[in-house]
Structure 1
Amino acid sequence: MLRPHLPENLQRVGFLSCLPELLRRFDVDPLEVLAAAGLTASALEDPDGMIPYRAMGLLSQLSCEKTRCSHFGLEIGRQIRTETLGLLGELMRNSPTLRVALQDFAINQHRNAHGGVTYLLEDKMQAFFGYAVYQPNVPGQYLICDGAAMGAFTIFCELAGTGHASALEVLLARSEPRNVSHYRHAFGVKLAFNADQTAVVFPRRMLDQPVAGADVRRRIVLEKQVQVLWHAGGIDIVTQLQRELRVALIRGCFSATAIARQLGMSRRTLDRRLDASGMKFQEALDDTRCEYAQQLLDCTQLKIADIATIVGYADPSILTRGFVRWAGVTPSQWRTKLGREADTCADNIK
């Protein structure tokens, strides 16, 4: 069945406006990188400007190659602060508690970008402030992972205070780099590579931490302004479903009824709206599972059986059959091919 044609996912420039100066520090011409990514010389000048989401990944990949800096994703992530998030960042700074601030971003992040999703998940003891890519075939995904982790860490410390950083753990959905010292220095907390998600983890009780300097009256104004903010354009039902499914797989609860509830509608209404868009729930779920599995195969060293469990399959053979239909090869063949390409890329960066 043909999938519905969706508009191109967009990313607000925001923190990327710092990229040209960052490249110059490495003696790299930013105009050369921008051109190679298919962008104009002025594409990153306006923080409220928009670029294709895929171009953000390509910029990260090309910057890594040109600077020969394998941890360049961390350098980009250091630029992420509430200030670079525009109106959403100001809303976060004027939230009464850390929970509300992080929820503000998770709920409204789609106003700044489509292609990746920010989330806040909680269990009995811990909270997870993370980021996941749901757009297929985005280049430089491990660099996006690095940048998102660094950004989440920086935002947490900004809102809660650096004195609480020691309680954090950083999960990275990527394999351990050859030189881990850059990561240890950047975060200074416990790191877990080859994780199933990219997130900052901290004690749940810390969500009640007040945000210093929050202005209740200013927040009322900001809430109204955010409701009409659409930097990345409107969000259709298929994109809403993709975002929700990607987080639901991490949460481990992805039934159609549960997803419809998360989207604020009945199962029947969800099915009707998907039918009108030319999509079925099971098709969207299968696509999301395969994309998630591909990311874990590409970026981590997790066993295929473990990846099958993570994406919600009880038997690895089910993942294999679905992956062959989706990618034309088995998961192990995919990983072997990617391994050869990764070795070539690593040799170029050395």
Structure 2
Amino acid sequence: MLSPAGLRTNVFPEGIGAAGDLAGTGKAPPAGFIQLDIVQALHTVLIELGADLDDLLTEADLDPRLFNGGHRLVSFTDIGRLIALAVDRTRCPHLGLLVGQRTTLASLGLLGLLMRSSDTVGDALRALEAHLCVQNRGAAVGLGVYDDIAVLNYAPHQPEAEGAAHHAERGLAMIANVLRALCGSDWAPLEALLPRPAPRDRVSYGSFFRAPVRFGAETAALVFPTELLSQRIAGADPAMRQRVEDHIRRLEAAEPSSLTDKLREYLQTAVTRQRCKAERAARLRLISRRTLSRRLRAEGTSFRRLANEAQFRVAKKLLANTGMSVTQISAALDFSELAAFTHAFRRWAGMSPSAWRQAHRPATTRDQRHEEPRPRGRDIGCSSTFAPGPAPS
């Protein structure tokens, strides 16, 4: 929509209730939108970095009232574009990390209360996976278990969009904070994975995650021992959990998603875990493969089409934001051989993966270029010192 001044703005005026839903509406955020917490955290970080907020909002073509403290929703893609621009202007490659570290369990509202009331860490993470949509309709969380290793990943629905890698970084920092709130402040993963080029200064990432950080990964994820999932949560309240979960389901019912939308969310996290199968998706939906196909056909699509769409989006992200070879990307997306991936990508993009990478990489690697001093407007230097956020709650 357009504001009176002609600027594009995807901000809704409804208030956000203390319980985590939209005050007065009883709904979860609509598709593609995220609740205000990220805007408030971004505002605080940019103030600390000395950024000119008015200039940033004007350059990003966003409503100048965005940071005025009103209770609103904001487009996930608009915030991604703003974060990418802010990274460039502040020369702060770990801006997404700084924003994400300010998210606590309490700031997740109803979802945070549901997780806090769960019996085990595994129950809490499955609640996050199932109900992230009450806070964030621009990304999905996926939990995978592989023998003695668990992988929890955070995947924006549009991984090729501007700022998506910074969104993923922010989301992963949020999940780390949530796990520390559930497991103790000393908790650390075995490894953190980020789908972005390695910045020159990696100290901030190691300081926050307290674990090896692998850049240029196929997804944003935290890796930890499977045994953590069975760890009991101190103060778990089954009765409270049931009440909150019932309320969350009512919120979700008030802003329903089509089967197509739900599968898009699932595939965004499944496509790089080699679980992109119609049979598995049908089991998760508790329906038969035939029923799944029939319902998707009624919505004008098919599982194959949605899977191809997810593979194309992730392929573009990996080509643009990582140093993975085309062969590695083909394997990550579960293609039987490189030729099959190359053929599919040509069908999707009209060019080979290598040609697409050559054409698009310069426009999507700002975080590698911004660290080199250069004259352009009002740049603000970013201290490499990592500033701890508030204690998880």
Normalized against structure 1, the TM-score is what? 0.90
Structure-2 residue corresponding to 1:4: none
Unaligned runs of 5+ in 1: 1-6
Aligned length: 343
Which of 272, 290, 296 is matched with 1:268 structurally? 290
Structure with the higher fraction of residues in helix conformation? 1
Q: Give the 3-state SS of the residue equivalent to 1:120 in structure 2.
A: strand
1:108 CA displacement: 0.5
Structure-1 residue corresponding to 2:274: 252
RMSD: 2.3
Whether 2:74 is the aligned partner of 1:54: answer no
Query: Counterpart amino acid of 1:243?
Result: E
Whether 2:39 is the aligned partner of 1:16: answer yes
Asked if the contact 1:12/1:47 (under 8 Å) is kept, the reply is: no
Whether 2:304 is the aligned partner of 1:282: answer yes
Separation of aligned partners in 2, 1:277 and 1:258: 20
Distance 1:158 1:65, change over 3 A: same
Separation of aligned partners in 1, 2:208 and 2:257: 35
Normalized against structure 2, the TM-score is what? 0.81
1:178 CA displacement: 2.0
Query: Counterpart amino acid of 2:93?
Result: S
Q: Give the 3-state SS of the residue equivalent to 1:108 in structure 2.
A: helix
Could you list the per-position Cα deviations for residues 125-177 of structure 1 after superposition, in whole angstroms to 9, with x for gaps in the alignment?
01112111232642112212221221121111111112332x53212222322
Separation of aligned partners in 2, 1:304 and 1:132: 21
1:66 CA displacement: 2.3
Which of 78, 93, 97 is matched with 1:70 structurally? 93
Separation of aligned partners in 2, 1:30 and 1:225: 37
Query: Counterpart amino acid of 1:183?
Result: Y
Unaligned runs of 5+ in 2: 1-29, 373-393
Separation of aligned partners in 2, 1:43 and 1:238: 31
1:274 CA displacement: 1.2
Q: Give the 3-state SS of the residue equivalent to 2:251 in structure 1.
A: coil
1:346 CA displacement: 4.0
Query: Counterpart amino acid of 2:269?
Result: V
Q: Give the 3-state SS of the residue equivalent to 1:170 in structure 2.
A: strand
Separation of aligned partners in 1, 2:170 and 2:96: 5
Structure-2 residue corresponding to 1:235: 257
Residue identity (%):
29
Separation of aligned partners in 2, 1:127 and 1:19: 30
Query: Which structure has more RCO (C-alpha within 8 Å, separation ≥ 6)?
Result: 2
Which of 311, 325, 330 is matched with 2:333 structurally? 311
Separation of aligned partners in 1, 2:118 and 2:300: 39
Which of 94, 118, 124 is matched with 1:95 structurally? 118
Q: Give the 3-state SS of the residue equivalent to 2:143 in structure 1.
A: strand
Distance 1:15 1:340, change over 3 A: closer
Distance 1:133 1:94, change over 3 A: same
Which residues in structure 2 correspond to 1:4-43 (within 5 Å)? 9-43=32-66
Asked if the contact 1:96/1:210 (under 8 Å) is kept, the reply is: yes
Asked if the contact 1:11/1:56 (under 8 Å) is kept, the reply is: no
Which of 168, 171, 176 is matched with 2:190 structurally? 168
Separation of aligned partners in 2, 1:158 and 1:74: 17
Asked if the contact 1:172/1:193 (under 8 Å) is kept, the reply is: yes
Whether 2:380 is the aligned partner of 1:334: answer no
Structure-1 residue corresponding to 2:144: 121
1:235 CA displacement: 1.2
Distance 1:251 1:339, change over 3 A: closer
Structure-1 residue corresponding to 2:380: none
Asked if the contact 1:8/1:52 (under 8 Å) is kept, the reply is: no
Query: Counterpart amino acid of 1:72?
Result: L
Separation of aligned partners in 2, 1:118 and 1:238: 17
1:32 CA displacement: 3.3
Separation of aligned partners in 1, 2:236 and 2:53: 37
Separation of aligned partners in 1, 2:365 and 2:282: 42
1:242 CA displacement: 1.0
Query: Counterpart amino acid of 1:210?
Result: R
